[in-house]
């Protein structure tokens, strides 16, 4: 894969940054016996301010939307499917992390 793009410069220490974060929405259900599936749910929302106290590296993660169910048994595309009901899977989280994408480094998270 290509190398990641260069990181933009961070604000100087002592600056407070406010974040408005939305998690990704879930995927809708597919067709089953001519019956349409329901729409996927919306992702969560959170907001918060983080004061940069040193030259920390912040990682911003943007969640991906959930996939639509395919109607294949046991989730052949929509991870939340059971049996032959084509359910969509959930969306991914979005968040701000300190340095790396690890649970213990989470500063703000909006669920998907």
Q: Considering the chain, what percentage of its residues have pLDDT values greater than 90?
A: 21
Contacts of 44 (CB under 8 A, 6+ apart): 22, 23, 110, 111, 112
> How confident is the model over 60-83, as a mean pLDDT?
60
Span 53-65, pLDDT tens digits: 877 788 898 888 8
The residue count for the chain: 112
Beta-carbon contacts of 108 under 8 Å, excluding residues fewer than 6 positions away, are: 19, 21, 46, 47, 48, 50, 95, 96
Model pLDDT, residue 70: 54
Which range of 24-28, 37-41, 84-88 scores highest in mean pLDDT? It is 24-28
Residues near 36 by beta carbon (within 8 Å), at least 6 away in sequence: 29
Q: Structure tokens of 46?
A: 């959170």
pTM exceeds 0.85 for this model: no
pLDDT score of 73: 43
């Amino acid at each position: 894969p290509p190398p990641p793009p260069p990181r933009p410069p961070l604000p100087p220490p002592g600056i407070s940054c406010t974040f408005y974060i939305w998690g990704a929405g879930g995927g809708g259900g597919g067709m089953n016996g001519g019956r349409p599936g329901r729409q996927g749910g919306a992702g969560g929302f959170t907001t918060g301010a983080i004061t940069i106290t040193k030259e920390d590296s912040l990682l911003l993660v943007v969640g991906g939307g959930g996939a639509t169910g395919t109607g294949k048994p046991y989730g052949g595309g929509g991870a939340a499917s059971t049996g032959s009901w084509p359910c969509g899977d959930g969306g991914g989280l979005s968040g701000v992390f300190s340095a790396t994408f690890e649970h213990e480094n989470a500063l703000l998270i909006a669920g998907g």
